[in-house]
Every structure is written in C-alpha cells, then in structure tokens.
Structure 1
Amino acid sequence: MHRSPKVSVIMGIYNCEDTLSESIESIINQTYKDWELIICDDASTDSSYKIACHYAKRYSNKIIVIRNNENIKLAGTLNKCLSIAAGEYIARQDGDDISLINRLEKQVDFLDNNLHYMVVGTGMIPFDDLGENGIRIGKPEPRKEDIPKNRIFMHATIMMRREAYMALNGYRVATRTRRAEDFDLWIRFFAKGYRGYNLQEALYKVREDNSAFARRRFKHYTDLSLLIFLACKTLKLPIKYYLFMLKPLIIGLCPTLIVRNYHRFKDSVINEKSI
C-alpha cells in the first residue's frame, strides 16, 4: 500500500540535460528520506525527459515524471506538479541547481516546530563553471513591506505547507507573471495574512552563469515593475514603496555584465557580514 510522503519536491525542467542528473541526485542523497520527487518536463527538445525517466525507473517508488505536450512555461508546469503532489510539505527544486545534503531535513524540522509559519526558505550559494560566487542570506522574517524591494523568499529554496499552496491556487498563469511567478505568489501569500521565515544559512546552490542573466529580456523587467505596482496597491502600502517600480526598469536597461557584477558585489557584501 502506497504511503503518502511527508515532502513532495516539485521540479519543472526544460532543456537542462547537462545539469539534471546532478540536481536529481542532490535530492536522492538528502539526509531526510521521506520524500517524493515530481518532475514535469516542459516539452524539452534535448534529452532532459529521457534522463528524468531513467531516474524514475531506478527509483519508481520515489520519483514521478510527467510531460507537457507543448511548452507552457514554469508557472503552468509547477501547477501540474502540484496537482499530483501528495506531501504535507511541498519543496521547490530547479533542474540546474543543487540542494545541500541536509536541506530538506532542516526545513522539515522548522515547519514541524513552528506551526505559525506557512513557508520556510533558505540562503543560496550562486555558482558557475568557475566556482561559487558568495552567499545570499534573506531577511529572517520578511514582511509585506519587503515585497517591493524584492527581498522576500528565494523561490527555488522554499518549502511550503500544502494547505497554503492550495489556498493560493498555486501559481498564476498569465503574461505579466512570466519569469516572476514567485513574485506574484508572494503578493497573494501576504494578502492572505500568511507568515514565512528564511533560515539563516545557505542550503541551496543556484546556477548563475552568463546565460542565466542574458535570458532576461527588458519585457521581463517591465512585468516586474507592474507587479510591484500591483503589490503596493493590493497590500495598501504607503506611497513611498511605489518608487521601487523604477528599480527593475533601471536594471533592465543595464548591460548583462554590469547586472552580473552588481549581484556578485551584493553577494560578497552579504558574505562578509556573515563571517
């Protein structure tokens, strides 16, 4: 008889054949063992789906693989994962990133012992082919006023209670939320009056090479600016927070190299403060 796992890890994948095995194995090797991994391939054109199926065959009681007939982007893909997730807690993972070995264990322990929080995130370690690039540690308990500053939760690191995901109806599939589906989620999260927490240690490695920054187009930054406006309006924030609408527009106009160096500088400052 199938027993529902405590944790469902949801992963949307698209053309990540070079990194997918390492990402999946970072979940397989977790110290916490009561999990299932649900992978939805978003109509990849490389061997990502084949690789995912290989792991699903090897770990048939732990890994489930589904596939979209056409590319529907991340929000819709994650919703498909959510529709079959059985866990009490639902964690995120991207197909080109790595969870440190005790990530799930520490997040489960936190949610088990802090019932008033609906989500828990962790810090992140950005890395590329040349190595690691600092550490990002989020604010311990973000508030609704932190949304316009985009200092909330690092999406790929989160573990959320299933009841919260269901109450929020998962991710919104809309043009304005492309590449900002998590930002939209947090607007609705705080509008519900929910609370979340960021563990003050980095338990997740996020891949950020040149292509990661180059993939963002100016339209994505304008979408984010509009979402900041929506956040301020929905959450009834003071007028001064509307000024943060300008930040993504300014970043979007900067060359990719400058944006990447800005993130590296910011990460190095955070890392020095944590020493």
Structure 2
Amino acid sequence: MMCNKISVIMGIYNCEDTLSEAIDSILAQTYNNWELIMCDDGSSDRTVEIAKKYVKRYSDKIILLQNQKNMGLNYTLNRCLNEAKGEYIARMDGDDRCMNDRFIVELKVLQEEKDIAIVSSDMEYFDEKGVWGCISHPEYPKEKDFIYGTPFCHAPCMVRKEAFDTVQGYTNKKQLLRVEDYHLWIKMYEAGYRGKNIHKILYQMRDDHHAYRRRKLKYRFNEAYVKAMVVRKFNLPIWNYIYVLRPIIVGMLPAIFYNMMHKKHLAICRR
C-alpha cells in the first residue's frame, strides 16, 4: 500500500550544531521510501561540511544544493522542489526533529482521504531545557480560519506534489518572507485543495520562550499583508480587516501583555 516516494525538502542555514539531529530523525523513520533534498542558503559555519558527510554516506537518498548567497527560504525551498521526484513533498528544518512514525502517519491520511492535499500535525516547542509548549490547529481548516493566522504548521507538513505544481511552489517576494507558508496555503485553497491537521505530536521545533518577541517589525507587516489578502481572496466580511492590524498592534504591546496572549496559543497537545 505505502510504496509512494516522499521528497523531503530542507533549507539549511548556519545550523552546524543541530543539523545532524535533524537528518538522523529522518533516517530513523519507519517509512523509508524517501529522498532528502537540502539546499544551503549561504551558511558561514560548518553546515555544508556536515551536510556533505551525510551525502557521501547516503548518496542514493540525500542531495545537497547550494545558493551562492543568502536568498531566503522561499527561493531555497523552490530550488529543492525543482529536484523533487516524489509524489509527496514533506518539509523539515535543519534545527528540528520529528517522531519516527511521522511519515507513515501523514502518508496514511493522504492515501485514505483523497480529497486532502495538505496534512500537518500538532507541534511541540523545545529548547536546551526540554519541551516548553505546543501548538495545535483545527482538524479540517476552513477558509474563514485563515484570518486568525496560518492554519497549518509548516515544518511538519506533507503535501501532494500535484498541489505544489499547480500553484508553482512558493512565491518569491520580499513581502512574503517569514510568511511564505501562510501564503502557500492560501494559493492552494484558492486552487481548490484542502488540508487536515493530525491531532498528534509528530514534530518538535527547536525554539526558546522569547523567540517570538524578537520577530522584526517588517515581518509583522508581512503577516498583515497576507491577512489582507485572506479577506480579499476568500471574500470574507469586511469586519475581518480588524485582524489585519493585529500582528502590528500585538508587536507593539508591552512584554507582559504579549506574553499573556502568546501563552493562549500554546495548547495541550496529544502524543
């Protein structure tokens, strides 16, 4: 039944301390019909050296591409997509890790639910002290859910390649940096594709408690830009424009209020 090839696309950048753990979590998957396509986005540390060691050891399964300079995640992932030979595309980041049954659980959904093109899962956040939070989204996101933010965790996702081909991959625009996935889902839903979130933790993102506070204001404007697009493209009621300003307003709040609001998004998730 599960003989379809999965292409894992991974943009890597200055992740020498974490890359091995990320790749090892792919090598440990219970489903092994996959290829890993990494693209280095101008790293200045030993990231490429470490990646090349894995390519040498697993030359039949791992490919390494290199950008001449830092180009951003949109461009980098599109380079990976151009090399992908799998029927399904899975994401992975070079500083994260996933559970060893991730691929087989996600693939099962895509094979059993033919109307689903995007599948993701609940996701934990961890740092050097251990797991400190978790995020979960609606099981079957509707167009109206997009106004609250991206309805799928990007890093744990697996998507039918057909959907990527239809929307021509990620859109390479400066206004979409850090929200490239949010925009991608909009394009796919606009093209008629739909998705599902598995309410089980299949992925862990390396992050610290205060990373969200360091998000630059320009990226908050990028999020507002995409939210305005949601209202227009999905013909949502005009009052939804109040959500367009939310990323900018929240970013200007004192830390104590920001922390309180952020904690509300960290749900209790199931393993």
The two structures have a TM-score, normalised by structure 1, of 0.92
Check 1:259–1:126 CA distance in 2 against 1; reply closer, same or farther (3 A cut).
farther
Contact 2:120–2:158 (CA under 8 A) maintained in structure 1:
yes
What is the letter of the counterpart of residue 268 of structure 2?
Answer: N
Counterpart residue number, 1:74: 73
Q: Which residue of 2 aligns with 1:239?
A: 238
2:126 maps to a residue whose letter is F
* 1:256 to partner: Cα distance: 6.1
- CA offset digits 1:130-156 (Å, max 9, x no partner): 110132221100011111101510011
| 1:66–1:261 CA distance, 2 compared to 1 (3 A) | farther
CA distance in 2, matches of 1:72, 1:260: 32
Given that 1:10 and 1:91 are in contact with CA atoms closer than 8 Å, whether structure 2 keeps it comes out as: yes
1:84 maps to 83
In structure 2, distance between residues paired with 1:103 and 1:243: 37
Q: Distance in 1 between matches of 2:249 and 2:170?
A: 27
Give % identity.
40
Gaps of 5+ in 2: none
Number of the residue aligned with 1:47:
46
Q: Indicate the residue corresponding to 2:31 in structure 1.
A: 32
CA contact (8 A) 1:213 1:260 kept: no
Greater CA deviation, 207-216 or 113-122?
Answer: 207-216
Q: Which moved more, 1:242-251 or 1:6-15?
A: 242-251
Looking at structure 2, the residues matched to 212 and 245 of structure 1 have their Cα atoms a distance apart, in angstroms, of 22
Structure 2: how far apart are the matches of 1:167 and 1:238? Answer: 28
After TM superposition, give the deviation of residue 257 of structure 1 in Å: 7.3
The amino acid across from 2:230 in the alignment is A
Deviations 1:38-97 (A, max 9, x none): 000001001111111111111111110110001100000000000000000000001111
**Long gaps (5+) in structure 1:** none
The DSSP-based 3-state class of the residue aligned with 1:266 is coil
Change (3 A) 1:44 1:165: same
Q: 1:257 to 1:96 in 2, by over 3 A?
A: farther
**What TM-score do the two structures reach when normalised by structure 2?**
0.94
Give the structure 2 partner of residue 156 of structure 1: 155
- 1:105 aligns with 104
Quick check: 1:5–1:36 contact (8 Å CA) kept in 2?
A: no
Cα RMSD (Å):
1.9
Match of 1:61 in 2: 60
TM-superposed CA distance for 1:259, in Å, is 4.3
Check whether the contact 1:11–1:39 (CA below 8 A) recurs between aligned residues: yes
Q: After TM superposition, which residue ranges in structure 1, 4 or more long, deviate above 2 angstroms?
A: 210-215, 254-266
Contact 1:122/1:201 (8 A) holds in 2: yes
- Corresponding residue for 1:271? 268
User: For residue 188 of structure 1, what is the amino acid of its counterpart?
Assistant: K
1:251 is matched with which residue? 250
Q: What is the number of residues matched between the two proteins? A: 269
Secondary structure of 1:124's match? strand
Q: Which has the higher helix share?
A: 1
Question: Is the 1:5–1:86 Cα contact (8 Å) retained in structure 2?
Answer: no
Match of 2:11 in 1: 12
Shift in alpha-carbon separation, 1:259–1:82, aligned structure 2, 3 A:
farther
Q: Distance in 2 between matches of 1:243 and 1:161?
A: 33
